[in-house]
Structure 1
Amino acid sequence: MNEDPALGWYDSQGIVFVPVSVARDPDRLAEVLRHESTHHRLARGTSYGLLQQAVAALRPVAWEAPSEAWSAPADLLDRHSRGLQEAAATYCSLVVLDPTARAAAVKRLPELYLSGHQRFAALLDGRGFDAERRSRIALAIAARCLDTTVVGDWQRLGLADPRTLAGYLEQAGNSPDRRSARPWTTWRS
């Protein structure tokens, strides 16, 4: 396990950033772009991801002071989906690698990414599906967990208030990370 600095970053508005060292390594670049494109697909294709993008768009411009009205909801939304997002993005980016490259990549993973990869690997590897299909299944599971009722509930329940949003996300059916616990217990057999 390694605690390397970020190899890539997706800004929720469609831009992927990578350090020069990654950009110069075609294999690492492909791995990082696949990882970040999974975040992009989940942000663009789920209700929770769309709300995260809308809240991110409220970010103050560089010369303005950070706003509690923006940062608290953004932080809460991120905190309740980060485990699932990183699990799916890591698994989807690594499952398509040849076994030797995948094993080497897994050894480099920080704990959050490693445990997420292991969750999907335990669920999907060894079931007879090819790597691309396992990647699509992982993406579909993550998308389902991120497709909550949060957009419809946002106005109706006053979720822009950080205290209300925090209570809302503590309910298992509203938190993507907590929703993602269901497949591991339900589908293992």
Structure 2
Amino acid sequence: MTPPGEPPRASPPGWGPYACPCCKLLTLEARGQFQICAECSWEDDGQDDPNADEVWGGPNGADSLTDARRRYTMPEQTPRAVADNGRIQSDTINGTYEASQRVLDDLQSVGVSCDDVVRVLEDEGIAKFTASGNELFEQLDAELQAKRPADWRAGHRPARPEGNQRLPGPHW
């Protein structure tokens, strides 16, 4: 929202809701107005992605936006469990290409096609996501239908004004 080195710009109230820069949920009535997000407790001082690693002090103290996001998405027990039981290695990617390729070659030699595995995982994932989404939409539709007046449920809708214009009022 605000380029590094510039003072935060506020977004106008009444145009929201706006997404919290920390949890990304639509919890703010305006941006940069020092509102506290009800979900993650980040106080919106206008900090955004371009400067998320900077510690601005102020209402969020010694936390950068990146620190707050990490804390919001990671259960509090996780860092403690890693500190108590974990073994932290620095770089586990670079220098492992040959060993990784041998594992893939070994799988291929016993008839496991990584392309097939990826395809099956994608297909199953999409099918489960779609089924879950359809179930959610059906539940929402049932709740919406239950809240509508009986004449709406029976298929009778109020007539539009002459000329098929929209009814007055907000249109979402």
Q: If you compute each CA radius of gyration, which structure gives the higher value, 1 or 2?
A: 2
* Structure 2 length-normalised TM: 0.21
More helix by share: 1
* Structure 1 length-normalised TM: 0.20
Which has the higher relative contact order, 1 or 2, with Cα contacts under 8 A spaced 6 or more apart? 1
